Amino acid sequence: MKTSQAGSKMRGMALFLLLAAVFFSLPSECSAGKHKLTLVNAHFSDGTTEKWFNYWETPWIYADTPAAGQTFDTWSPAGSSAWRYLDGVNNPATRFDMPDTDMTVTAVYRAAGPTLYHLEARRSNSDGDYAEGTVVNVVAVPRVPDDNGKIFDQWTVVSGATLDRFGDIYSQSTTFIMPGNDCEIAATFKWPPAPHDLEIHNGGPDGEYSPGTVVTISANTPPLGKLFD
C-alpha cells in the first residue's frame, strides 16, 4: 500500500514538473495574451527586431539604414488588411497599431534617384528642384506693379552659379544648366530708352520712337510732273 502511494506521489510530482516546464518555456508575453510583432529590415527603438504587444498598442518602428544606392520606399506588412495599422506607410519612422494577431512588417527599399538641388528664379516661373545637369527652360516674367512699363534687360546670377550656364543672358526666354548645388538667378528689367522725334519731309510717318525701333516710312505722292528720286 505504501509502495502504491509513493508511486502515485512520484507520478504526480513528475506531472507537476512537466507542466511547470511547459509553462515556463512559454514567453511571458504570450501567456498574457500579447501578440508578436516581427520586423524585417527594421528595428524598434532599442535595436531589437521582435517584441510582444497588447492589442492596439502603438510601438514606434524604424527602417534600417539603407544600403548604398538605395532609399526607403514603403512598409510592407504581411496580410492584405494590415495597411490600416500603419500611421505612415511612406515614412521610415512610424507608429504601428498592433492588431489582434501576430504580425510581420518589412521595410522595403528602392534604387535611389539623383540628388535634387533647388533653383530659386526671381522674376521667372522656373523655381523648382532639379538634378545636376538638367537643362531648365527659364522665362523672365515682369513683376507687377514694379516692372510696369519696363522691358527685359538680362539674366543675372545671385548665388551658386555662373553666367555661362545660361543659353543667352540677353534673351527673355532661354535655358539654364543646373549646377550640383542650390543656386539663385534673376531676370532684370529696365526702363526703355527715351524716345526721339522723327520728322520726315515729304513723307511719313512722323513721331516719337525709341532707339532701335524699326520704322516703315513712305514718301508722299510726288507733285504733278515729278517722280520720286
What's the pLDDT tens digit per position in 98-120? 989 999 999 999 998 888 999 99
- What's the length of the chain? 229
pLDDT classification of 4: cutoffs 50, 70, 90: low
What's the one-letter identity of residue 49? Answer: T
Query: What does pTM read for this prediction?
Result: 0.50
pLDDT classification of 21: cutoffs 50, 70, 90: very low
What's the pLDDT tens digit per position in 65-102? 999 889 999 888 755 455 678 888 889 999 999 989 99
Structural Rg of the chain based on CA atoms: 40
Burial string for 165-187 (b: 16+ CB within 10 Å, else e) reads: bbeebeebebebbbbeeebbbeb
pLDDT classification of 29: cutoffs 50, 70, 90: very low
Domain extents in the chain? 28-111, 116-190
- DSSP-based helix, strand, coil % in the chain, nearest 5: 15, 40, 45
Q: Name residue, grid cell 523648382.
A: 128
All three cell numbers of 22, joined, read: 511547459
* Spatial separation of the C-alpha atoms in residues 184 and 197, rounded to whole Å: 41
DSSP, collapsed to helix, strand or coil, labels residue 95 as: strand
